[in-house]
Amino acid sequence: MNIEKNIKTLIVKKPLKLDCGKTIKDFPIAYETYGSLNSKKDNAILVFHALTGDQFVTGINPVTNKEGWWSYAVGPDKAIDTNKYFVICSNVIGGCMGSYGPSHKDPDQKIFGTNFPVITINDMVNAQYNLLDHFGIDKLFSITGGSMGGMQVLQFISNFPDKSKTVIPIATTSSHSAQNIAFNELGRQAIAADNNWKDGNYTSNDTNPGKGLAVARMAAHITYLSKKGLQEKFGRKLQEREDLKFGFDADFQIESYLRYQGSVFVDRFDANSYLYITRAMDYFDLAKQFNGNLSEAFINTKAKFFIISFTSDWLYPTQENKDIVIALNSIGADVGFVEIKSDKGHDSFLLDVPDFLNALKNFLDKSYEEN
């Protein structure tokens, strides 16, 4: 894939000290924007993407030629209305859509691979903070994102407590659970088991560990859906055949669907980035940064929080979202919370779930009116 064209990049000159101890500087952050920044510069929303997302939030992604990952939520007259708000999203560092990551070259012009420093959610948001200076924005109107995007939301407002008026973490957690880590490890081991991985030293598209990455994606994809959702969509339906074939082809539609999801993912994602980003998620434990007291993470912010979870999300279940609500309430923060009824699992935040989109729109628009 040609990722050079159509990608806007900010080169961050300022050195950034990473949690691992290393310092990076003169590194690129790839970003995209939607809508326009008003003269008061008070209508900017910073959107953070999830594990496999990128800066192309909505419209047609110019690299993949597919719809942006949050097209249901972001766009003209949508929940995050780009007629009204200026939406900024950047590719996380460690990613593979133009921001500094393992597929970039080190100062000796050698591709980093697994020599790229291990990055954290904290490093990601510290890097993205540079976008505020770039656009001359003193205070964002909102920050939002689901899943790993929600983790970045929480880390961002903790690091920069007066830099956003409203804060919307969606389907997320303040600390990656053992189950979350387990699923990520499964994905990483699938990649490592592919002979083409070569400890991360693969170079061209032809020799990349596509099979391992596809298996990682298939396993992860199951965690994004609910049992009920899968059953209703696929059940035991057969794939273009009348009966079982007594072999190991994809007899069932669900098998074929997962194989397809795996194969299209490989075309757009880098295996080493998958390792780095899942690692960052696993290391995320916001309470631990504050000696086990999550409330302390938010003690300095006056921002208005709105937390959203989904009934059928078993990857980042309602209780983990509610733990954030509880931490905020215990310090008297301004926090609203709603659990949206949906059968679509963790992926609900990416899909056409009207109750979710209405709540998001109403919260944003009403908060903006009070601005």
Partner 1 sequence: MKNEFQVIADLIEKDKKVLDVGCADGTLMKFLKDNKNINIRGLEISKEKVQECIAKGLTVIEGNAEKDLKQFPDKSFDYVVLSQTLQAFLNPELVLDELLRVGKKAIVTIPNFGYWKVRFHLLFKGTMPITKTLPDEWYNTPNLHMCTIKDFFHFVKSKDIKIFKSLALNNLNSSIISESNLGVKNLFADLGIFLIEK
Separation CA 171–CA 188 (nearest Å): 23
User: Residue 336, interface with partner 1 (CB under 8 A)?
Assistant: yes
User: Residue 340, interface with partner 1 (CB under 8 A)?
Assistant: yes
**At its nearest, how many Å lie between partner 1 and the CB of residue 306?**
8
Q: Which is nearer to partner 1, 265 or 363 (CB)?
A: 363
- Token pair, residue 9, equals 């990049």
Separation CA 357–CA 232 (nearest Å): 23
User: Quick one: DSSP state of residue 47?
Assistant: E
**At its nearest, how many Å lie between partner 1 and the CB of residue 198?**
49
Separation CA 166–CA 14 (nearest Å): 27
User: Residue 294, interface with partner 1 (CB under 8 A)?
Assistant: no
User: Residue 77, interface with partner 1 (CB under 8 A)?
Assistant: no
**At its nearest, how many Å lie between partner 1 and the CB of residue 320?**
15
User: Residue 293, interface with partner 1 (CB under 8 A)?
Assistant: no
Stretch that binds partner 1, among 24-32, 49-57, 247-255, 362-370 (CB under 8 A): 362-370
CA distances from 108 to 23, 73, 105, 111, 118 (A): 16, 42, 7, 9, 19
Q: Which of residues 306-325 bind partner 1 (CB under 8 A)?
A: 325
Stretch that binds partner 1, among 84-92, 217-225, 231-239, 361-369 (CB under 8 A): 361-369
Separation CA 234–CA 230 (nearest Å): 6
Tell which one of 294, 335, 353, 357 touches partner 1 (CB under 8 A): 335
The H or E element containing residue 29 is strand 27-34
Q: Which is nearer to partner 1, 23 or 358 (CB)?
A: 358
Tell which one of 341, 343, 345, 357 touches partner 1 (CB under 8 A): 341
Stretch that binds partner 1, among 181-189, 201-209, 232-240, 331-339 (CB under 8 A): 331-339
The answer to whether 43 touches 85, Cβ cutoff 8 Å, is yes
The answer to whether 167 touches 182, Cβ cutoff 8 Å, is no
Stretch that binds partner 1, among 109-117, 246-254, 279-287, 333-341 (CB under 8 A): 333-341
Rounded to 5 degrees, what are φ and ψ at 218? -60, -45
The answer to whether 205 touches 303, Cβ cutoff 8 Å, is no
| Number of shown-chain residues binding partner 1 (CB under 8 A) | 24
The answer to whether 168 touches 71, Cβ cutoff 8 Å, is no
Separation CA 122–CA 167 (nearest Å): 17
- Token pair, residue 308, equals 């959203």
User: Residue 370, interface with partner 1 (CB under 8 A)?
Assistant: yes
Catalytic residues: 147, 313, 346
Residues contributing to the site for partner 1 (CB under 8 A): 304, 325-326, 329-332, 334-341, 355, 358-359, 362-363, 366-367, 369-370
